[in-house]
Amino acid sequence: MLSTGRKINYKLGSLYAVITAFLLSIQEPFSFLAAKQLSVLQFVFLTQVALLMSIPLLTVRATSRSDLISLLIDVRNYSKLGAIFAIGMGGLVLFKLGLSKAHPIIISAIINLMPFWAALVARVVSRVPIPVSPAIFFGCLVGGFLGAMAIAWSQVGDAARPNLTQLADSALHGAWLYAVPVPICSALGGTLVGKWFSKYDESAAVAANFFVSACVLVPVVGFVLYRRSELHFGQIFAIILMILGTIVAASMGRVAYQIALTITGNDNGFITMFFLSIPALTALISLPLSWWISDLHFAVDRMFYIGLVVVSASLLLFSLKAWRQVPAG
């Protein structure tokens, strides 16, 4: 575990942020088939089972196991774990509500604003200032946001691609407002884990959150599925892919995220800026998978390359400016 007194290192933080973005990008293409073939409750149940399965992987080191036990036997931690669980579930419910009533492109735009909200959360909760000038931060945020949206737009098929009138109509209905708190919930959860459990190993803190979440959702959702006679799963290949993707993205990705926050002094705005590369990374990961899964859509056109260049340039400029602002520890 990193010492809480360690100096801030934005170069190393950038590396972990990129690793986090790559790991998080794996989940969507790997979970695509399961999300398409399973009901919502079945998908939630199996996702929580996968998180339970990842706990031994997260606690393979003796330090992680010891810290996990210490964290769980301290009853004072359960209110904090419960709060983080409630924040995560609230974000998930709001995401589903927004996605069911607004166009996915609008929801994608809202989610891609996470660096702004994350910087605000880091400022309010952890008193962490933005490591660059406001002009650089917001300039790179706008550039990265536009690039990420260009990539997302390039992956929408011509038949499903909305025109401006349809987008305006979807926006005027206001259902997208449900999704506004989603990136705030995501940023707040990561920041609170870093703030409340800083004395514990990052893997142990993540494992404890998975344990609490699974202890609540697995029996409750499992009982509902049993009563509905839906506690059976025949899509073995889709389930295996989803479990692998969840273990890699949700467990390893979450640990890399928390380590990145520790390295940068809980600077969530800095770390999540690199998450703007996730649409491009997800598309690139989908390419080899599309050779076996024909439904996985991957389009390489001019819009995709333009978005890729804009995101890369924005993140590179942001990284260089942040590196010069704070000396490596």
Other Cβ atoms within 10 Å of 219 Cβ, number: 11
pLDDT in tens, 140-194: 888 888 887 787 777 665 555 555 565 555 555 556 677 778 888 888 888 898 8
Average pLDDT per consecutive 10 residues, the chain (329 residues; last block may be shorter): 60 90 85 78 87 88 91 91 89 70 63 81 81 83 82 63 55 64 85 88 90 90 89 82 86 88 86 84 78 68 82 85 62
Tell which residue, 245, 210, 228, has the closest CA to residue 51: 210
- Determine contact, residues 249/23, Cβ cutoff 8 Å: yes
pLDDT of residue 329: 44
C-alpha separations of 89 from 43, 216, 263 in Å: 15, 11, 27
CA distance 118 to 23: 19
Q: What's the confidence (pLDDT) of residue 145?
A: 82
Q: CA-CA-CA-CA torsion for 220, 222, 223, 224, nearest 10 degrees?
A: 90
Single-letter code of the amino acid located at 297: H
Residues 276 and 134: their CA atoms lie apart, in Å, by 18
DSSP H helices, the chain, are 10-37, 40-58, 62-73, 77-101, 104-111, 114-126, 134-154, 164-172, 181-196, 202-227, 236-246, 254-263, 268-273, 278-289, 302-325
- Specify the pLDDT at position 73: 92
Buried b (16+ CB within 10 A) or exposed e, 123-143: eebbebebbbeeebbbbbbeb
Give CA angle at 193 (244, 132), nearest 5°. 100
CB crowding 241-274: b at 16 or more within 10 Å, else e: bbbebbbbbbbbbbbbbbbbbbbbbbbbbbbbbb
Expressed in angstroms, the distance from the first to the final Cα of the chain is: 15
What is the structure's pLDDT at 264? 86
Q: Tell me the two tokens of residue 295.
A: 């439904």
Whether 296 and 35 have beta carbons less than 8 Å apart is answered as no
**Both tokens of residue 121?**
């959360």
